Chain A
Amino acid sequence: MAVITYLEGIRSAMQEEMERDATVFVLGEDVGKGGVLNATKGLRDQFGEERVLDTPLAESAIAGAAIGAAMYGMRPIAEMQFADFILPATNQIISEAAKIRYRSNGDWNCPVVIRAPYGATGGSALYHSQCPESVFFGTPGLKIVAPSDPYDAKGLMKAAIRDEDPVLFFEHKKCYLSITEDVPEDDYIVPIGKAKVKREGTDITVISYGLTVHYALKAAEELSKEGISVHVLDLRTLQPLDKDAILEAVRKTGKVLIIHEDNKTGGVGAEVSALISEELFFELDAPIMRLCGPDIPAVGMAPTIEKFFLLNPDKAKEAMRTLALI
């Protein structure tokens, strides 16, 4: 076991997969020097510039060329420098990658990983902070993962690289250096499509993913001193949702709060909420609650509006307490 950061989890997964399989390579803007966020640091020295390919500044070509290489039989990992800049590649991801197996009736497939560093770190404003997962959520043919800790980041990255279908990998930038844990040194994967119970509890259930899982856990710890017992489920994979795990987590308490940094309307929480209403309406002891970013384009630059927009453990705690007291 070794203590590593979330970022090291992602990096070491790519490194180990590149050592294991010669068809794995990374491409993107500035990946050679290590990437602007250091996710590919050291990889060019180890694997050379052909397998750590600096590309022209053109997201659709990065995704599109990765898709072509994947159809040929490679295992490309395409980096979008910031998730905010993924939109020029959206046609390639939604019209192409997601539909290649289906539209060719299983003749072709597209085992590509597209990495999207997302979420606010503070001080990064509208275009270096967004959570665009809802743009892609609900696109059949895509898999979407969003880990919250180093163990899952590493295991899900390995699973994504080995997957036969396109995987969109959302990495929360604020988790990169702030979340650390002991991770086994042996090879392991975290299966795509499986959520994880992060804390057992009996009064309320919190369902979340990414950075806000940690806010929920911190709040849960504090609320335990008030006698409120919180069950926390980390979705880990957004598509396909782990329906069984969601329903089981809700059944534990009958009260559910969904938390995500992405804005509320049309977010992942809306689908999770609909799923619970469809399946467990008569087992609920309170209305389903959501705590999400407000419905404005993204977080603003000034500290005042940034604080207004972003979630934090206190906001999570308040919402959780409100639900518990219903």
Chain B
Amino acid sequence: MSIGQLTRHQTLGLSDEQAIEMYKTILRARKYDERALLLQRAGKIAFHVSGVGQETAQVASAFALERGRDYFLPYYRDYGFVLAAGMTLKELMLSLFSKAEDPTSGGRQMPGHFSHKKLGIVTGSSPVTTQVPHAAGIALAAKMQRKDIVAYTTLGEGSSNQGDFHEGCNFAGVYKLPLIVMVENNQYAISIPAHKQLGGRVVDRAIGYGFEGVRVDGNDALEVYRVVKEARERAVRGEGPTLIEAMMYRISPHSTADDDMLYRTKEEVEEHKAKDGLPRFKSYLMECGIWSEEKDGELAAEIQKEINEATQYADKAPYPRPEDSMLHLYAESKGEASSWQ
């Protein structure tokens, strides 16, 4: 790269610091995920559902949104996204260990069911894609109140077959709502490969809803950033929703309860590992001359320390009290088993 020439990220309006911050967040998500798997295998926690291979697109999206203002309805693999949106590794660990202090649910939900109102992260459930109509409703409310914000939601390609995907997208299309729907097409819905899930391409469905559809290489951080940023600009200009299909690969099994060697080969996984967005973005930053192996080593050590501290904290933190099961059923629930059942 010659002196004086703008780098790709600068062309997109990202400073060197922001590009590096993006990389750091991707790496933090990856390292969190790897630790969560170890903790489950060691018997310290019950369950982990992984996002390995998807962090690049997740983090890049978050950087293209107005964090602190927009509303986010992520799905259960979006560790990279929620870290970029402001959740801390300590908070993720508290959720992983199902502790009382877990900000997502106070130890009520499985890990990966994100929620954090202060950060605009909307509570989610396990029946997939119910969040798409919610995102449409939030976008509707924002439009009614003349706020220039967007609702951003994600899901997997398998989930895109649910009725709520279609109903929510069509609803948003009718009113031209400020909504961004990103399908993280990781090629698998548990064991079912995309060609057995989808009769056509997810992105093409946007045509039927009357809005823009964009397919993007989910391993290309800057390209994802660009399309999400453009989608956001369209949304606040009143031009309606965008459906983004980000192509990626689920490097991990579906969850810690899944053996992926029952339905795919090591060779296939290895082939896709070689296309992983994380090392690709690192190489890019090094080519730009703003990152080095030395800095990378320092960062890895820093993240490891942070994860160690978060793990220890969460491990020692108290579980919710049994009687707290009765709290927060209704606004007036005081915890007693009363006529409120």
Chain A residues engaging chain B, CB cutoff 8 angstroms: 25, 50-51, 53, 55-56, 58, 60-61, 63-74, 76, 88, 91-92, 95-96, 99-109, 140-141, 143, 163-165, 193, 239-244
- Asked whether A68 and B135 contact (CB < 8 A) given A56-B174, A101-B328, A143-B330, the answer is yes
* Closest Cβ neighbor of B172 among chain A residues: A65
The answer, among A56, A70, A91, A107, for a CB contact under 8 Å with B130, is A91
Q: Is the CB of A64 within 8 A of B136?
A: yes
Interchain residue pairs A-B with the least CB separation, the first 6: A68-B137, A64-B133, A105-B106, A65-B137, A68-B134, A61-B167
Residue pairs across A and B with CB atoms within 8 Å: the count is: 148
Per-residue contact bits, chain B 281-314, to A (CB 8 Å; 1 contact, 0 not): 0000000000000000000000000000000000
Q: How large is the interface on B (under 10, 10 to 19, 20 to 34, 35 or more residues)?
A: 35 or more
Q: Is the CB of A71 within 8 A of B122?
A: yes
Q: Is the CB of B140 within 8 A of A60?
A: no
Q: Is the CB of B125 within 8 A of A99?
A: yes
- Expressed in whole angstroms, the Cα–Cα distance for A68 and B330 within the complex equals 18
The answer, among B104, B117, B171, for a CB contact under 8 Å with A61, is B171
**B134 contacts which chain A residues (CB < 8 A)?**
64-65, 67-68, 71, 96
Question: Could you jot down 9 A-B contacts, CB within 8 Å?
Answer: A55-B171, A64-B168, A66-B137, A92-B133, A102-B108, A103-B108, A104-B328, A105-B106, A240-B340
B102, B116, B127, B133: most-surrounded residue (chain A CB, <10 A)? B133
Q: Is the CB of B168 within 8 A of A61?
A: yes
Chain B residues engaging chain A, CB cutoff 8 angstroms: 71, 102-106, 108-109, 113, 115-117, 122-123, 125, 127, 130, 132-142, 144, 151, 163-164, 167-168, 170-171, 174, 327-331, 339-341
Q: How far is the CB of A2 from chain B (nearest CB, A)?
A: 32
- Expressed in whole angstroms, the Cα–Cα distance for A81 and B137 within the complex equals 19
B102, B113, B170, B171: most-surrounded residue (chain A CB, <10 A)? B171
Q: Is the CB of A244 within 8 A of B339?
A: yes
- Asked whether A61 and B125 contact (CB < 8 A) given A88-B163, A103-B115, the answer is no
- Expressed in whole angstroms, the Cα–Cα distance for A66 and B190 within the complex equals 31
- Asked whether A140 and B133 contact (CB < 8 A) given A61-B170, A69-B141, A107-B117, the answer is no
- Expressed in whole angstroms, the Cα–Cα distance for A326 and B331 within the complex equals 45
The answer, among A60, A74, A99, A243, for a CB contact under 8 Å with B141, is A74
**B144 contacts which chain A residues (CB < 8 A)?**
25, 50-51, 74
**B122 contacts which chain A residues (CB < 8 A)?**
68, 71, 108
- Expressed in whole angstroms, the Cα–Cα distance for A92 and B122 within the complex equals 15
- Expressed in whole angstroms, the Cα–Cα distance for A88 and B132 within the complex equals 15
The answer, among A95, A104, A193, A243, for a CB contact under 8 Å with B117, is A104
- Expressed in whole angstroms, the Cα–Cα distance for A182 and B241 within the complex equals 49
- Asked whether A63 and B133 contact (CB < 8 A) given A25-B144, A50-B144, A55-B171, the answer is yes
**B113 contacts which chain A residues (CB < 8 A)?**
103
Q: Is the CB of A69 within 8 A of B328?
A: no
Q: How far is the CB of B49 from chain A (nearest CB, A)?
A: 16
- Expressed in whole angstroms, the Cα–Cα distance for A63 and B341 within the complex equals 24
- Expressed in whole angstroms, the Cα–Cα distance for A163 and B331 within the complex equals 9
- Asked whether A101 and B137 contact (CB < 8 A) given A64-B130, A107-B115, A240-B339, the answer is no
- Expressed in whole angstroms, the Cα–Cα distance for A253 and B35 within the complex equals 65
